[in-house]
Every structure is written in C-alpha cells, then in structure tokens.
Amino acid sequence: MSKPVTDFNDPINLQVMWNRLIFIADQADNVLGKTAFSPIVRENHDYVTVLLDSKGRALAQCTWSIPVFITSLPAAAQKFFLPKFPVDALEEGDVLATNDPEIGTGHLPDVTMITPIFKNGKVVAYAGSIAHLPDIGGAPLHSEASDIFEEGIRFPIVKLLKAGVPNKDVFDIIEASVRLPTEVRGDLESMIAANNVMGRELVKFLDEYGLDDVDGLADAIHTRSEAQTRKAIRQWPNGKYSAEMLLDGYDIDIKLKATVVVSDDSIHVDYAGTSPQVLHSINCRTNYRYAHSVYALKCLLDPDTPNNEGCITPISDDAPLGSILNPEQWTAGNSRNLIGHAIPSLIFKALEGVVPDKVMGDSGGAPIWAANCVGRRDDGTQYGSVQNFHGGQGARAEFDGLDTLSFPSNCKVTAIEMFEIAVPALTECKELIADSGGAGKYRGGLGQRVVLRNLGKSPMNIYLASERVRHPCFGVVEGQNGMAGKVMKNGQPQFPKGKVVLKTGERLEVETPGGGGWGRASERSASFIEQDLAEGLISPRAAKTVYDYKGAGAVAAE
C-alpha cells in the first residue's frame, strides 16, 4: 500500500484486517495438523494456534480450537513467559516452551510454546501454540497418580531454540524421558513450524498494510470485543445465581458448586463450597478452571465475536485454595478434564432461570471418555495411542442435543483405521445407544457403545478416563437426566478410572453417557417422537412411558 492503514475505526478496514489475522492462525493450524507425528495431535486435533500481541494478549485464534487452550495460552504468556523472558532477553529465532501445569493448561502432556515475532529488530507480537503430546514419561496418562512427580517429566520455561538453533540438551532430556521419542520430537517440531508460519505471515501482513506493529489494531479489536461483552452482561439482571452438581470422582463423589455474580457489566464466578483437592490425578489448576468459566459465559453472552482477550476481560473467577478447582502445586492433575469439563454445564445450570433459552443440558461428552492404550507389539517395539469416545450433547432450547459430541473440549476422534494402525486393536462395534439421551421437549444427544478387542500376542494396558457412571448428566428447564455410562471387560463391570489389562482376544466395552434434556418431556411434539421411533433413537417403551405417546407408530412397534 502507498500509505499505512491507521483508521481502525473504519468497520470495513477493521473487519478485513481482523479476518486476515484469523486466517494467519488458521494457516498455522493446517501446518501443525498436517505435519504432526502422533494421532492425538494429527487426528484428534488436540492442539491450538493463537496469535498474541506485543503484550501477550490473545489477538486471533485458529477457527477449530480447544476452548481451554485459547484462554490458557495468553494467560501463560502474560503471567509467566514475558516476565521470565522480557524482550531484551530474546533474539530472532528463539522458541520458548514449557509443560509446567501451573503455567499452562493444568497437566504435563500439554506443551505451551511461544515464539517472538520480530520486525525491524523489534518484538511486535508472539506466535503461540499448545499441543497434547502422546507421552510425557512417568505413569501413562491416567487418573491413579498420587502427586505430580509420578505423572511424568516437567520442564520449566526453556529456550527450545536459541536464535534458530535447537537446544540439544533440552531435546535430549525430553526424548530420554518418554516412551515415544520420535513422535514427541516430531510433534514439537510441528509446533515450531506452525509458530514460524504465524510469524512469517504476520510480517507480510504488516508490510502489506504499511504497519510497524499490531498494537493499534490489537487495541481496536480488544476494545470493541470488551464493549460487546459488557453490553451483553448488562442485559442480565444483577444478582447471585448458584448451582451444584455431583461427579463420580476417583473413589468418592466430588461436589462442584458455582455462584455466578452478575454486577452491572461484569461477572464473577465463585466456586466456594466445592470439594477439597484429592490424592489422584483429577485436580484442576487455575488456568484450566478459568478457561472453562469464561468459555461457558462466552457461549451465553456473545457466541459470534471471534475470540480474543477483550471478550473475556469482564469475567473473573476464583476457588478456595486447596479445593479441587485450586489445588496445591504438588497435586496430581493429568486427568483434570474429568472434573474441569463439567464446569460449563454447572454454569449453565446456575443460569437456567436467567437465560433459559440459551442454556443447554449437561453433556455426556463432558468429560471426554478416553482409553490410553499402551503395550508392546509382536516385534518388541512399544506403542501408545489415545482413543476418545464422546457422549451425547445436552439438549438446547430449539434443538435436540447432537449424538456423541465432544463438548466442551472440541476434540475429534482418531479415525478407526488410523487407530488400528497405531494400536493392535480391532474396533468390533461402534453404535448409538437408543434411549440414552435425556427426555425433554428437546432430547439429549445419544451416547455410544464401543467394543475394542486386543489382537496382539502381548497384553494391552488400557488406562481409562471416564465419568458419569454413578451420576448421569442432568437436564435443564425441567428436562430429564440422560443415561449413565458403563465400562466392562469381557462383560464384567470395571473401575472406570483404572487400568484394564486385555490379554489376546479379550474385549473392552464402553457405553458413554447420554446428554440431559431441555424442557418438559410432555411438551415434545408427536412428529419428533415419531421420527425418533422410525430411526431407532428411542424405543416404543420409552415413547409410551417417558413421553406418554400413544400414537400409531408406538403401538405398531409393540
């Protein structure tokens, strides 16, 4: 351009430039996903790419994102990365990284990586990414560890690259500490490449628009986004709105309690009354908790504005120190999603009397059900891969919940063909479970039944992460509960958060929970019930007893 674009108040200029920043993050997303070595990154999309401004504030994120990552990453940058490595300690080509749970996303497998972006010798922004590595040493990813030191290697914020040169000592330590060094190193290299793409494309963007930095554009985006959120909050009545829920926990029930305090144009979420921290790997650290708090409220307040720092500025939260949502630093937390993923449902429940048309029922995909399969192949080499199994989404005010959906994690499932390449297992069955969605004017999404059989000559160790076996997903606005989940080995019930050993030919069967319903079941339309019956999503018995339906379709099905 002949002259710099400085008028960020022009809505057309702003929208075009904002979209371009999102596209830059999407380009990095494509690079990371297409070059990653491990199925959990390449197939499950358990990663995120985020563009940060010069202060470490979130500016733009990739379109397909993990909600917890997009909030944890800028928090890590502002609180930890930038204070430890201020601009005068950085060189072009440096890459910073850590997997410290207190800094990043709350568990060791997630690596948070930040690359400074230079223009004319000055740091003008940062490229950030987070990815879940396939292994981090210690005990394989599961819920049984009693402190963080059992869960794997933990490295502080280090320079993985110094002025573009790999820090061999750091890479050697990481690779020597994990079971799958090739996959881990490959994923780290993919993250580095993705960050480099963001840096390269942002500099091209600045050159095209005649800008020396992104600060003015960032301020415009943040200011408008914050104003939009505060405007939405002002539509809600001031007050305190509370809810509680019970989760299975590891060996005892866990109570989560949230009080949402609406004060003019800001919101605070108080988790006082929540259960204490536990001696197993389900504790949730502050970044992880806060990310789910703001995600739930963003869904209710302003789902359309692209995520950035301004969207969440009016929202805060806290939890008592020593609680499961604010544990001490030594506690284990590799399976923190088993508790943290339930936070959005809890906040929805608290606000069902305020915005009943916007909340949705509790979701069976909160948390993700995961089977971490580890063992040795017949040739003696080691394998390891995680397969996700999603439950039914909660119902909404105008729609049934979607079947087998990852919410709020937004993770994909490894394609069966790719999983069976990574692990010597056969997926014998994968089917929806009729009647598993909670009844309501709108029905909760269905859970699924999956059967895995070990084809290898050696035993397969499967480390389970599951929830909602004792406490099913609840409905909202008088909607009913969904069906609880099950875990079985060769037809016998198993501890849902333990280690299952499958010998050759043995089977693991999981049934994921159904989502909660929305509204009274008696208000569900006859046409919807008929359609459910025709598609086998509900049984004739449920049509009669749950929905009190007496139509010809139900009678004929008898």
Q: Write out the DSSP string of 462-482.
A: EEEE---SSSPPPPBTTPPP-
- 311 has pLDDT over 90: yes
Q: Could you tell me which of 342, 236, 242 has the C-alpha nearest to residue 293?
A: 342
307-322 mean pLDDT: 96
Percentage of the chain beyond pLDDT 70 is 98
- 151 has pLDDT over 50: yes
- 558 has pLDDT over 70: no
> With the CA atoms of 126, 132, 134 and 139 taken in that order, what torsion angle do they form, in degrees rounded to the nearest 10?
120
**Contact status, residue 436 vs residue 483, Cβ threshold 8 Å:** yes
Q: pLDDT tens, 507-519? A: 999 999 999 999 9
Instruction: Report the predicted TM-score, pTM, of the whole model to 2 decimal places.
Output: 0.94
CA distance 188 to 182: 10
Predicted pLDDT of residue 2: 47
Predicted pLDDT of residue 263: 97
Q: Which residues of 242-280 are buried (b: 16+ CB within 10 A; e: fewer)?
A: ebebebbbbeeebebbbbbbbeeeebbbbbeebbebbeb
Domain assignments of the chain as residue spans, ordered by start: 11-226, 360-524
CA distance 373 to 500: 10
Beta bridge partners of 62: none
**Contact status, residue 366 vs residue 344, Cβ threshold 8 Å:** yes
Predicted pLDDT of residue 324: 98
Token output for 59: 């500016």
Predicted pLDDT of residue 435: 96
Q: pLDDT tens, 395-426? A: 999 999 999 999 998 888 889 999 999 999 99
- 103 has pLDDT over 70: yes
Write down the mean pLDDT value for the chain.
94
CA distance 123 to 55: 10
